């Protein structure tokens, strides 16, 4: 292997630096293509265009892919309350844990590919993609027992026996889906770092259409029940994998994909460390509300409570695809600017992204407050479940508003390579503060599901969002840009 490639493969995430400097970075560019200084409105408009080149298709593709889960859960819900609870636990808890970890580990590519693309080191993107496949496939094998032994695990966690049994059967049906994450998530990040999000969007649209038709056929024509409904997800998600893989290796990325390379097996330990940091950072966030569903299973009348909360989490997850698209867009934009040595550009990209996501979050907050009953009818016609959902709609609305800020700040962290630091923050806020407070309010003070969720929102999510905002505000962006540029040029 050449010395040039050895140097390019070194992985050291930029460190947080809270010192200030009045001296501008020599890499900062504050001019447009004609060399004229931009006013604020022009800069916002130009940055918005750059951001939405990633965010727009990312919203569509993420909503389409998540809709497959929601559609599957909706079809199961109309089979009965037990089927809804079983599918909800399997998809929201078991696959939710899996999804969060795999998605987080794949997000290491947003740092590495984004900075390499910004520095025009195109060759390394393909190498990073292959390393991510290797690491995530190994992780998939390690996590496989969680799906195989889902039923005893859920019983141990206090879930009702009938719900645990059905959830375990559904989890076994999701094994092919589990392995699809390891291939699809790295492909998505590889393509989005090159602003090829439209490809991801079109492939997901095709898979969504197939999934709707398959679900209708399986439930209403073939009458294969909840197992058949679960199996349709495997087909739909592997169609996405096949489409993205064929596009990548068949000439869609001539600069960044030069074929399979033995270099993918070198530097795996350093890559694993950054992937692990990314995985822990994101999965601690993703798992947080999955644990809420598990805790709810220990309440009285758990089946109704789990059904109502699962509907809330499905709606929240559906809307969460928009902040997660901003998470992706912010990560790409910040990484590109830092890779090009433009610290002020990275800071401005973060500000614009957070502001626009908040506006969208407030819109959906209003929609939840006005149309909560209509939304719940998509999933169930059970009056007890609908009433319980109505009681939780206020908390759902506040969760959506907070989630319009927090993932974007996490996207700044990913673009800057701060994953390990944010992982510690998430651990402290979510699991040392939020969860104990939720358990205290819900189980000790007998406030039920409302108390558990409120404690987790205001004790964990709000505090974590505040800390991330302070870190982002205090960051010395010029120094971060210099570190990222030196990394790419070394």
pLDDT tens for 190-201 read: 998 887 888 988
Q: What is the pLDDT of residue 22?
A: 38
Quote the percentage of the chain above a pLDDT of 70: 85
* Residue 300: band (very low, low, confident or very high) from pLDDT cuts 50, 70, 90: low
Please check the confidence at residue 17 and state whether its pLDDT lies above 70: no
pLDDT band at 14 (very low <50, low <70, confident <90, very high): very low
| Per-residue pLDDT at 419 | 66
pLDDT at 109: 81
Phi, psi for residue 194 in degrees, rounded to 5: -100, 10
**Which tens digits make up the pLDDT trace of 391-445?**
888 888 888 888 888 778 877 776 666 767 777 887 888 888 888 888 888 778 8
Which pLDDT belongs to residue 241?
94
Q: By C-alpha distance, which of 218, 374, 404 is closest to 311?
A: 374
Long-range contacts (CB closer than 8 Å, 24 or more residues apart) made by 206-213: 206/239, 206/243, 207/64, 207/65, 207/68, 207/236, 207/237, 207/239, 207/240, 207/243, 208/64, 208/65, 208/67, 208/68, 208/236, 210/235, 210/236, 210/239, 211/68, 211/71, 211/72, 211/235, 211/236, 212/71
pLDDT digits (tens, 9 = 90+) for 150-200: 899 888 877 788 888 888 898 999 999 999 999 999 999 899 888 788 898
Query: What is residue 21's predicted lDDT score, i.e. its pLDDT?
Result: 37
User: What pLDDT does 186 receive?
Assistant: 92
pLDDT at 149 over 70: yes
User: Does the structure show a pLDDT above 90 at 346?
Assistant: no
Measured distance CA(66)–CA(87) in Å, rounded = 15
pLDDT given at position 389: 83
Residue 2 has what pLDDT?
43
The confidence score (pLDDT) of residue 387 equals 83
**For residues 223-245, average pLDDT:** 88
pTM of the model: 0.68
Q: How far apart are CA 122 and CA 5, in angstroms?
A: 12
Closest CA to 484 of 193, 107, 115, 21: 115
CB atoms within 10 A of CB 222: 11
Residue 169 burial by CB count (10 A; 0-12/13-18/19+): exposed, middle or buried?
middle
Judge whether 282 and 111 are in contact, CB under 8 Å. Answer: no
At residue 27, the pLDDT reads: 35
Q: By the 8 A CB rule, do 124 and 8 touch?
A: yes
Query: Which value, to the nearest 10 degrees, does the dihedral of the CA atoms of residues 404, 431, 426, 289 take?
Result: -30
Q: Which residues lie across from 120 on neighbouring strands?
A: none
Q: For residue 233, what are the CA distances in angstroms to 86, 105, 202, 372?
A: 15, 22, 18, 27
Q: What is the pLDDT of residue 385?
A: 81
**Tokens representing residue 332 in the block:** 């790409």
Determine the pLDDT at residue 38. Answer: 61
Q: What is the largest CA-CA distance in the chain?
A: 69
Q: Which whole number is the average pLDDT over 364-378? A: 82
Cα separations in angstroms, 351 against 5, 142, 405: 35, 39, 11
């Amino acid at each position: 292997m050449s010395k040039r490639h050895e140097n390019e493969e070194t992985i050291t995430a930029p460190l947080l630096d809270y010192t200030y400097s009045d001296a501008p970075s020599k890499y900062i560019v504050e001019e447009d293509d004609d060399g004229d200084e931009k006013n604020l409105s022009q800069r916002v408009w130009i940055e918005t265009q750059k951001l939405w080149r990633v965010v727009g298709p990312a919203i569509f593709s993420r909503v389409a892919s998540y809709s497959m889960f929601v559609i599957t859960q909706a079809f199961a819900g109309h089979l009965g309350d037990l089927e809804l609870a079983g599918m909800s636990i399997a998809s929201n808890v078991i696959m939710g844990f899996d999804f969060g970890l795999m998605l987080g580990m794949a997000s290491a590519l947003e740092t590495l590919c984004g900075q390499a693309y910004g520095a025009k080191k195109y060759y390394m993107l393909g190498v990073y993609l292959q390393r991510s496949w290797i690491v995530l496939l190994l992780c998939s094998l390690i996590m496989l027992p969680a799906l195989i032994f889902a039923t005893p695990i859920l019983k141990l966690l206090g879930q009702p026996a009938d719900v645990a049994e059905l959830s375990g059967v559904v989890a076994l049906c999701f094994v092919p889906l589990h392995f699809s994450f390891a291939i699809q998530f790295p492909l998505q990040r590889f393509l989005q770092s090159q602003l090829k999000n439209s490809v991801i969007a079109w492939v997901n649209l095709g898979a969504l259409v197939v999934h709707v038709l398959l679900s209708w056929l399986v439930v209403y024509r073939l009458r294969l029940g909840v197992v058949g409904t679960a199996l349709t997800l495997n087909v739909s998600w592997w169609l996405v994998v096949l489409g993205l893989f064929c596009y990548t290796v068949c000439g869609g990325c001539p600069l960044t994909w030069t074929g399979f390379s033995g270099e993918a097996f070198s530097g795996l330990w350093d890559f694993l460390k950054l992937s692990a940091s990314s995985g822990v950072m994101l999965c601690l966030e993703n798992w947080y509300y999955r644990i809420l569903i598990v805790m709810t299973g220990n309440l009285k009348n758990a089946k109704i409570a789990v059904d109502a909360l699962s509907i809330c989490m499905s709606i929240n997850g559906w809307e969460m695809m928009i902040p997660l698209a901003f998470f992706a867009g912010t990560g790409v934009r910040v990484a590109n600017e830092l890779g090009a040595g433009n610290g002020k550009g990275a800071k401005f990209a973060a500000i614009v992204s957070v502001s626009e996501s908040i506006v969208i979050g407030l819109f959906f907050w209003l929609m939840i407050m006005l149309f909560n009953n209509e939304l719940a009818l998509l999933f169930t016609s059970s009056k007890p479940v609908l009433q319980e959902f109505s009681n939780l709609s206020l908390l759902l609305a506040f969760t959506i508003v907070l989630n319009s800020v927090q993932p974007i700040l996490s996207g700044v962290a990913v673009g800057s390579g701060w994953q390990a630091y944010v992982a510690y923050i998430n651990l402290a806020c979510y699991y040392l503060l939020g969860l104990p407070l939720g358990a205290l309010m819900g189980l000790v003070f007998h406030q039920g599901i409302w108390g558990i969720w409120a404690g987790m929102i205001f004790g964990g999510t709000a505090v974590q969002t505040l800390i991330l905002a302070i870190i982002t505000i205090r960051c010395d962006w010029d120094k971060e840009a210099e570190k990222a540029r030196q990394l790419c040029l070394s």
